[in-house]
Structure 1
Amino acid sequence: MSRQLNMDTLRQNFWKEEYLREKMFRCEWHRKYGSTVKAKQKAKAAARLPLALPTLHPKAPLSPPPAPKAVPSKTPGPPLETPIQSEMYPVLPATRALLYEGLSHDFQGRYRYLNTRKLDVPEMRYLFPITTNFIYGWQLGPPVKQELVSCKTCRIESFFRKNGAFALLDPRDLAL
């Protein structure tokens, strides 16, 4: 493709001014915002780096404090507060140990712990119903399997299909 030859001095000066003006705008923007953009880029790059956790060394056991001298106190101290009781029963140590074994990504660790806790009924996990939804099934016990009764004149054994939808009765079954 060939260059346009219809460039006169007026047009050349226009493009020269446009180029210089754009260059000045870029320099001005870089002077105003360049440092903040670089700081943001450094922060993003630092966020992508993996975190290195410090190594914890076992601490030496502390020696027991010396026994205080028996001095009768003249004023009684403030009453000790009772510890706040949790809403949940404590977790079994074997179940809690699952939490610290492996990674959730490999279906271990927290993943296995939560799936194990999910198998317990709410009555075994909580002291009392926490939400109103808990009230609807609280202490109902295991579901009771009902036997299906079929009669000689009926052609179906249940009102429900295997997938849970209603089965339509045969009109011949209704006329007894």
Structure 2
Amino acid sequence: MLRQLNMDTLRQNFWKEEYLREKMVRCEWHRKHGSMVKAKQKAKAAARLPLKLPTLYPKAPRSPTPAPQAVPSKAPSPVPEAPFQSEMYPVLPTTRALLYEGISHDLQGRYHYLNTRKLDMPEMRYLFPITTNFTYGWQLGPPVKQELVSCKMCRIDSFFRKNGAFALLDPRDLAL
């Protein structure tokens, strides 16, 4: 697009005034409505933040009350019980030592540590199921091998055609 060459002083002053007027209108609008817009932006940003729910810990089983002692001893000072700091059991020192041996690039260090931790069952790592997905694998025990049936008539290897995709249809492949 070509520039207009018929810009004279009158037209330049018109555009200058128009630009300043728009600028003043923007400043006036910002002065009048700016605080309201900022408040809406803060409310939207606060609504986008995830809701932090408190962590629920399992109730510790109550120990049986000891028999009363005949000799009164010095009253111990009440020590408040500290809540659990983690959802996981502490890591064994031998497993934790794997973190500091080598680097992950050489399949040592963190890589070896994580693979070793992965071998433990979830109930050995966590105090209780943290998510609902944990309930599917919680306290299943070791995996049980299922023996295959030796009868070929009872077992179906695949739902694909036995003689290839582009071969002629075999009557055994059709389900009528």
TM-score (norm 2): 0.42
TM-score (norm 1): 0.42
